[in-house]
Structure 1
Amino acid sequence: MINNNSQNIVYRVIKPEENPAKGLFAPFQDSARNRTGHVLDGSREEYLQSWISATRDYNVALQWAEKSGNRIVAIDLSKVTATVVDVSTPEGRAKYLRGVTANNRASASVEILIDRTVPANAIMFMTEVCK
């Protein structure tokens, strides 16, 4: 269990084809999909997404990684120049999301949304996780 005391550090489970040394990129850079739609459907490939999800809680990332066998990266938000939307708090969810289901999912995932790109220099480390 990792206790993250820094508000600038978040975690993301990356797909096998993602290369953190080159940065992380939303699959559809020009999508106009809103934040609520992303929280509801973001992990489903058939939805065009320009947001990158992350979590403030390493243990949430670990649960997702254990299911998929994928890697976890730590992201330093102070080095991210893109828009970052914090929906991990009740205030953030009230401001940026609509609907009970989206609010519940963002709360359970302690979710942070990053618009389109995470530069390689913002990725601090990567952890391999076994299924």
Structure 2
Amino acid sequence: MDVESAGPGAPGGGGGSVERPGPGSGSAWAWRVAEPGPLGERPTGPRGGDGPLAGWRLAVKDLIAVAGQPLRAGSAARSDARPELADAPVVAQLRAAGSRLVGATRLHEFAFGTTGLNALGTPDNPAAPGRAP
């Protein structure tokens, strides 16, 4: 698993590091905040605070732009994508409502399929290990 440093504009609300599970890890995460903070903790600063979702931890699919993170959309063709410059409108609204973004989850390549297979690493099925989701 790769771990990289994240600056003050990190998805989790500031500082820390981001983990990127590698192919074959079985992880459902495309990337996640390494230390998201205690459950129920209200984020502070420009990316969190009061609001109807204050203290909620949320993840988005790796098909939705998150500032500072590469959008790979489950495709090997985008494995070297550059970090996004801005949040997608839905991410900006979730942050404005006080939620804490803790990562992005994997999906079928470009969300065009029904098998759940992912060129960057297919998540394990917790109910039936060894089977595709």
Higher strand share: 1
- Bigger-Rg structure (1/2): 2
TM-score of the superposed pair, with normalisation by structure 2: 0.25
- Of structures 1 and 2, the one with the larger relative CO (CA 8 A, separation 6+) is 1
